[in-house]
Amino acid sequence: MDPAIPVTLSTASVYPRRVAYAFESAAELGYDGVEVMVWSDPATQDPAVLARLSAHHAMPIRSLHAPTLLVSQGVWGRDPALKLRRTVDMARELGAGAVVVHPPFRWQYRYARGFQDQVRELEATTGVTLAVENMYPWKARSRSDRHYVAYLPGWDATEHDYDSVTLDLSHAAVAHQSGMELVATFGDRLRHLHLADGTGVPRDEHLVPGRGSMDCAEVLVELAARGWRGDVVVEISTRRDRSAHERHGDLEAALRFARSYLAAVPTPYRPPAPERRHLPADAW
């Protein structure tokens, strides 16, 4: 029998707490490992520190997220191609099998022209999976019916033939896309999953799965049934949680949701209501 699909914790899920807290939480709750979001926290940029945290908490680093968000534009300089290569090098050093990367922003013309070739070259020469993440259209502030072109070659990963993709269910909610349809469209190219929920508002909410309107449960059941070989990464927003107890509860509920629907016999699970009312401003 194939081993269970690993459920790991993105260090972004504990923001604004530091990466050490993510390792501690993942170990305490029983996650199978972590995904390190490389950003302004110096520890996320230092493989020696990350290796010590991993060993101390017995939490393997299974994947890295390259510093390709708006909030991490200044990490490791301004050349996104060099930053991606550096992330892959760190993944190899730490034994992480996958790197998640966003498509280029529209102002990164030179990077965008060679992006797909670089991703394929790095994947072929290093053995690290480079899974390009599905994004969503940005709404223009001046008119609610206008979209701002933020990404090159585009935000919709279904329109591009990347060899490996990451499906982020919160992003799919913003784009009003079905998770199950994306799973079917990506097929064998789906190598990584970011598990979070959304309600379809034009903001990236990253809710605890089961607290939004996405088909999170159906996606997990489908992946388990097909014997999918990838990681399910809990990537939720807890930045407005008012206490460690509240954050712990959200991380625990997300893990229980994932394990309930990835089981050989899926068990229905509805996460408890949040201790606070979710506000649109809580989105990433």
175-217 residue pLDDT tens: 999 999 999 999 999 999 999 999 999 999 999 999 999 999 9
In a domain, 60, yes or no: yes
CA distance 213 to 81: 36
In a domain, 273, yes or no: no
In a domain, 104, yes or no: yes
In a domain, 87, yes or no: yes
Residue 107 has pLDDT above 60, yes or no: yes
CA distance 248 to 230: 25
Give the residue ranges of DSSP H helices in 108-215. Answer: 109-126, 169-174, 179-186
- What is the tally of helices (H) and strands (E) in the chain? 8, 10
pTM, entire model = 0.94
- Determine the pLDDT at residue 171: 98
- Determine the pLDDT at residue 106: 92
- Determine the pLDDT at residue 39: 94
In a domain, 274, yes or no: no
39-48 residue pLDDT tens: 999 999 999 9
Looking at the structure of the chain, the number of domains it has is 1
Residue 97 has pLDDT above 80, yes or no: yes
Which of 27-36, 144-153, 269-278 is the most confident on average?
Answer: 27-36
CA distance 53 to 46: 11
First to last CA, the chain: 39
Any idea which of 21-25, 67-71, 175-179, 244-248 has the lowest mean pLDDT? Answer: 67-71
Cross-strand partners of 265: none
* Residue percentage of the chain with pLDDT more than 90: 87
* Residue percentage of the chain with pLDDT more than 70: 92
In a domain, 284, yes or no: no
Q: What is the DSSP string of 172-225?
A: HHHTT--HHHHHHHHGGGEEEEEE-B--SSSS---BPTTSSSS-HHHHHHHHHH
Residue 284 has pLDDT above 50, yes or no: no
Angle at 117 between CA 116 and CA 122, to 5 degrees: 100
Residue 33 has pLDDT above 80, yes or no: yes
In a domain, 281, yes or no: no
CA distance 257 to 7: 10
Q: What is the DSSP string of 61-130?
A: EEEEE-S-SGGGTTTT-S-HHHHHHHHHHHHHHHT--EEEEPPPBTT-HHHHHHHHHHHHHHHHHH--EE
CA distance 68 to 53: 23
Any idea which of 57-61, 150-154, 178-182, 247-251 has the lowest mean pLDDT? Answer: 150-154
Return the sign of the alpha-carbon dihedral for residues 103, 158, 98, 198. positive
Residue 279 has pLDDT above 70, yes or no: no
Boundaries of domain holding 177: 7-262
Residue 142 has pLDDT above 70, yes or no: no
Of the pLDDT bands very low, low, confident and very high (cuts 50, 70, 90), residue 280 is very low
User: Both tokens of residue 281?
Assistant: 């401003």
Of the pLDDT bands very low, low, confident and very high (cuts 50, 70, 90), residue 282 is very low
Please check whether residue 233 is in contact with residue 192, taking contact to mean a CB–CB distance below 8 angstroms: yes
Choice between 131 and 140, residue whose per-residue pLDDT is larger: 131
CA distance 275 to 216: 21
Tell me, what DSSP letter sits at residue 44? G
**Cα 214 to chain center, whole Å?**
16
In a domain, 85, yes or no: yes
CA distance 59 to 166: 22
CATH code of residue 198: 3.20.20.150
Helix (H) or strand (E) holding 233: strand 231-234
- Determine the pLDDT at residue 281: 44
Residue 166 has pLDDT above 80, yes or no: yes
CA distance 115 to 118: 5
Of the pLDDT bands very low, low, confident and very high (cuts 50, 70, 90), residue 65 is very high
- Determine the pLDDT at residue 73: 82
Could you give the 3-state DSSP secondary structure of residue 124?
Answer: helix
Helix (H) or strand (E) holding 34: strand 34-37
